Amino acid sequence: MLKLPIYLDNNATTPMDPRVLEAMIPYFTEHFGNAASRNHPFGWEAEEAVDYAREQVAKLISADPKEIIFTSGATEGDNLAIKGVFEMYASKGNHIITAVTEHKAVLDTCKHIEKAGGEVTYLSVKEDGLIDLKELEAAIKPTTILIAIMYANNEIGVIQPVKEISAIAKKHGVLFFTDATQAVGKIPVDVIKDGIDLLTFSGHKMYGPKGIGALYVRRKNPRVKVTAQMDGGGHERGMRSGTLNVPGIVGFGKACELCRLEMEEDTKRISQLRNKLENALLQLEEAYVNGNTEHRLPHVANISFKYVEGEGLMMGFNKNIALSSGSACTSASLEPSYVLKALGLGDDLAHSSLRFGLSRFTTEEQIDYTIKAISETVLKLREMSPLWEMYKEGIDLNSIEWAHH
**Which lies closer to other proteins via its Cβ, residue 72 or residue 337?**
337
Nearest Cα residue to 35 out of 176, 244, 331, 232 = 244
> Could you tell me if 290 and 156 are in contact, meaning their C-beta atoms sit under 8 angstroms apart?
yes
Residues 318-357 contacting other proteins, CB under 8 A: 327-332, 334, 336, 346-348, 351
Is 329 assigned a catalytic role? yes
**Which lies closer to other proteins via its Cβ, residue 25 or residue 334?**
334
Residue 396 touching other proteins (CB under 8 A)? no
Binding other proteins by CB under 8 A: which of 38, 115, 220, 405? 405
Residue 403 touching other proteins (CB under 8 A)? yes
> Could you tell me if 304 and 288 are in contact, meaning their C-beta atoms sit under 8 angstroms apart?
yes
For 153, 162, 177, 200, 268, the CA distances from 132, given in Å and listed in that order, are: 15, 12, 17, 23, 29
Query: How many Cβ atoms are within 10 Å of 16's Cβ, its own excluded?
Result: 19
For 78, 157, 174, 250, 380, the CA distances from 105, given in Å and listed in that order, are: 6, 17, 21, 25, 38
**Which lies closer to other proteins via its Cβ, residue 1 or residue 403?**
403
Given 110, 256, 259, 329, the catalytic residue: 329
Nearest Cα residue to 194 out of 170, 228, 210 = 170
> Could you tell me if 111 and 260 are in contact, meaning their C-beta atoms sit under 8 angstroms apart?
no
Residue 289 touching other proteins (CB under 8 A)? no
> Could you tell me if 179 and 197 are in contact, meaning their C-beta atoms sit under 8 angstroms apart?
no
The piece of 88-96, 184-192, 246-254, 386-394 that touches other proteins (CB under 8 A) is 386-394
Binding other proteins by CB under 8 A: which of 137, 286, 311, 368? 311
**Which lies closer to other proteins via its Cβ, residue 365 or residue 389?**
389
Residue 312 touching other proteins (CB under 8 A)? yes
Residues 229-268 contacting other proteins, CB under 8 A: none
3-state secondary structure at position 108: helix
Residues that bind other proteins (CB under 8 A): 307-312, 315-316, 327-332, 334, 336, 346-348, 351, 383-389, 397, 400, 402-405
Active-site residue set? 329
